[in-house]
Amino acid sequence: MPCQSNFLTPKKRYILLTVGIFILILIIVASCVLGIYLKSQEETKSWKGNGTSRNLQEIVLGRCYGYLAKNPNLGERDCNKIWQELTNAVYKKDPCSITEDSYNNLIKLTQEAIPCNKSLLWSRTNILVHQFTKVREDFTTLEDTFLGSMFDGLTWCGKTNSAGMNFKSCPAWDECANNSISSFWKKASAAFAKSSCGVVQVMLNGSTDGNIVREDSILKSIEIPSMNPDMVSELIIWLMNSPGGGSSNSCSNKSLVALKEYIEKHKIRSSCKVDYRPVRLLQCIENPGAADCTTYYY
């Protein structure tokens, strides 16, 4: 019986090679089509928040160089590296999968010592607290620091399937748990609270609707738990009511009593002042006709 050859004939080899090439072409085409589809889906998806701030890179770098020029005591800092770490945190990632840890390297590059007794936290007093720190440089909010000043008021998020920022829309603060903006400010707030020492102040809005301090506020969920009780001797609450405004509250407000108890559970002393005079003076400059402001001019 003759032996059968294990070798393929030239014709069979040609057929197999042709089939292999055809399958490879199909795979490549399918991959391209899938890539185009995913990219188009990403580009057409609309989040509830504003897109990345225009000229974000130029703004961040400009603020970085400007802060370093005013604060030479920070030493050598690489603004381009800081920008690179921001892009590393969000490029080619789902904007709703950016965790606080995504910004670890960025936080390390921007670390800054906060002098004791200068930290000023806030909740629902954004405009007033920063008006105050502009005229009273002996207090510092997160937004006045190196890190905070670079990114204050800006928005950014990346794209899932490609490099670059998404300028069309980004997830709103509460649209998903781990979005690029909320995770950044939570991480930055924790770092600011950890570096605080001595007496820490917090400015709250006594004329706001509902609870003065929400349970999910950064103050209560991030900053207070992040403080080191061995470094922070006291947390003083400034409860600021609007001059001439309708509703006002005192330190006996139920929400504030609960806040003080929460602070003390973290082994930090707390106290409360209503309408702290230096801030009240600032409020009355803008509201000189308010009845409860007239006493400040005599």
State pLDDT tens for residues 150-197: 999 999 999 999 999 999 999 999 999 999 999 999 999 999 999 999
Distance CA 91, CA 230 (A): 39
- The reply to whether 166 falls in a domain is yes
Position 107 in a domain: yes
Handedness of CA 61, 67, 72, 77 (dihedral sign): negative
- Is the residue at 73 inside a domain? yes
Per the structure, how many domains does the chain have?
A: 1
Where does residue 54 rank: exposed (0-12), middle (13-18), buried (19+ CB within 10 A)? Answer: exposed
pLDDT at 102: 98
Is position 79 within any domain?
A: yes
32 is catalytic: no
State the DSSP string of 26-45.
HHHHHHHHHHHHHHHHHHH-
Q: What's the burial of 273, exposed, middle or buried (CB within 10 Å: 0-12/13-18/19+)?
A: middle
Which of 79, 170, 197, 293 is catalytic? The answer is 197
Higher pLDDT, 256 or 247: 256
Whether residue 118 contacts residue 84, with contact meaning beta carbons closer than 8 Å, is answered with: no
The reported pLDDT for the residue numbered 298 is 45
38/151: higher pLDDT: 151
Angle at which helix 126-135 crosses helix 277-286, to 10 degrees, equals 100
For the entire predicted model, the pTM comes to 0.83
Q: The domain spanning residue 121 has which CATH number?
A: 1.20.82.10
CB-CB contact of 240 with 125 (8 Å) = yes
- Note the pLDDT of residue 13: 73
Does residue 7 lie in a domain region? Answer: no
In a domain, 5, yes or no: no
Work out the pLDDT band at 1, boundaries 50, 70, 90.
very low
**By the 8 A CB rule, do 230 and 261 touch?**
no
CA-to-CA distance for 183 and 62, rounded, in angstroms? Answer: 23
* Catalytic site includes residue 157: no
Instruction: Kindly report, residue by residue over 71-124, the tens digit of the pLDDT.
Output: 999 999 999 999 999 999 999 999 999 999 999 999 999 999 999 999 999 999
Domain that holds residue 226: 49-289
State yes or no: pLDDT of 6 exceeds 60. no
Inside any domain, residue 179? yes
Residue 23 lies in a domain: no
pLDDT band at 289 (very low <50, low <70, confident <90, very high): confident
Average pLDDT over residues 257-268: 97
Q: Kindly state the percentage of the chain with pLDDT values over 90.
A: 75
